[in-house]
């Protein structure tokens, strides 16, 4: 019995020492030098929920989207006739090498397998090939797409209208009948580290106005009541030209509203900063020069 006790004690002691060695070994990585990464830093692109996108400029333009009483909308099953849904990127994004486009529900809901919005399909097969090629180097998820800016036509990209996911699919998650989506784009430049490895650095960010995706347009009577009715007569080239012109004007109105709202927000923030500086410098003799600059 005594021998068994001694043996057990030695075994437990060895296990304890082994655990300590494992604990020490598991902390050794803290002494390592930082390594270059092939993937963007997740902290730098943490834009999964609406609150994390508050300060992001709304400068992505939605093209060939319709308009209803709630704002921009994609009628997924409408007749396209060449007017595919597309987005126009601002110049700040186009000056970089790559753009990652992401599609989100525009709510403060954690990104999960149930709340993730699968990205629509590119119209051009070449864009699909480019996305796959870049994805091999810098992996992304189903709600994200890669674009090489050199492949863009006038800074815009087209998507298959029928490939958008319907708002109604996410009704239970958001507790909203017609949930809204948003498009987020982040531009990257590719760099080479001291060890020769490639990595990406964030250059610029932007988002679109929020929008809905529904299957079909509502009846002409209800649209007429809202002042949004389009011609429902027999389709002719002239009729279709008027419809396209109307949609183009609606897009301009939406984008101007977004730009005005963004500028108003910037102005309000500037006033808050100036008032704060005034309060700090007003009664400080050493800061009167600064106070005189901002008092008016």
Residues 224-277: tens digit of each pLDDT: 444 555 545 566 777 777 877 887 787 778 778 877 877 887 888 888 888 888
Which residues, at least 6 apart from 14, have a Cβ–Cβ distance to it below 8 Å? none
For the chain, which residues make up each domain, given as ranges?
42-229
Mean pLDDT of the chain: 79
- Higher-confidence residue of 215 and 240: namely 215
What pLDDT, on a 0 to 100 scale, did the predictor assign at position 27? 45
More confident residue, 213 or 276: 213
Alpha helices in the chain (DSSP H): 2-27, 91-94, 125-137, 171-174, 220-225, 237-281, 288-294
Sign of CA dihedral 126, 132, 134, 140: positive
Q: Is the four-CA dihedral 218, 224, 227, 228 of positive or negative sign?
A: positive
pLDDT of 195 over the 90 cut: no
Question: Quick check: helix, strand or coil at residue 60?
Answer: strand
User: Residue 234's pLDDT is what?
Assistant: 61
Is pTM beyond 0.85? Reply is no
């Amino acid at each position: 019995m005594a021998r068994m006790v001694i043996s057990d004690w030695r075994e437990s002691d060895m296990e304890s020492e082994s655990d300590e060695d494992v604990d020490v070994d598991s902390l050794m990585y803290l002494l390592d030098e930082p390594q270059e990464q092939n993937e963007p830093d997740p902290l730098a692109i943490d834009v999964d929920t609406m609150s994390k996108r508050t300060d992001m400029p709304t400068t992505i333009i939605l093209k060939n989207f319709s308009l209803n009483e709630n704002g921009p909308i994609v009628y997924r099953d409408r007749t396209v006739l060449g007017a595919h849904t597309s987005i126009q990127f601002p110049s700040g994004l186009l000056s970089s090498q790559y753009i990652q486009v992401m599609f989100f529900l525009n709510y403060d809901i954690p990104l999960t397998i149930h709340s993730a919005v699968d990205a629509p399909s590119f119209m051009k097969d070449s864009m699909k090939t480019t996305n796959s090629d870049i994805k091999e180097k810098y992996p992304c998820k189903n709600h994200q797409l890669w674009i090489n800016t050199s492949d863009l036509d006038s800074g815009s990209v087209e998507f298959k209208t029928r490939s958008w996911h319907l708002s109604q699919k996410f009704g239970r998650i958001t507790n909203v009948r017609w949930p809204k989506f948003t498009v987020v784009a982040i531009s990257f430049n590719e760099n080479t580290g001291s060890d020769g490895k490639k990595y990406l650095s964030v250059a610029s960010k932007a988002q679109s106005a929020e929008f809905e995706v529904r299957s079909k347009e509502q009846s002409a009577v209800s649209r007429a009541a809202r002042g949004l009715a389009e011609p429902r007569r027999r389709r002719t080239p002239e009729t279709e030209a008027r419809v396209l012109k109307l949609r183009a004007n609606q897009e301009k109105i939406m984008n101007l509203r977004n730009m005005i709202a963004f500028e108003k927000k910037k102005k309000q923030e500037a006033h808050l900063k100036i008032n704060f500086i005034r309060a700090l410098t007003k009664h400080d003799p050493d800061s009167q020069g600064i106070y005189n600059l901002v008092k008016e």
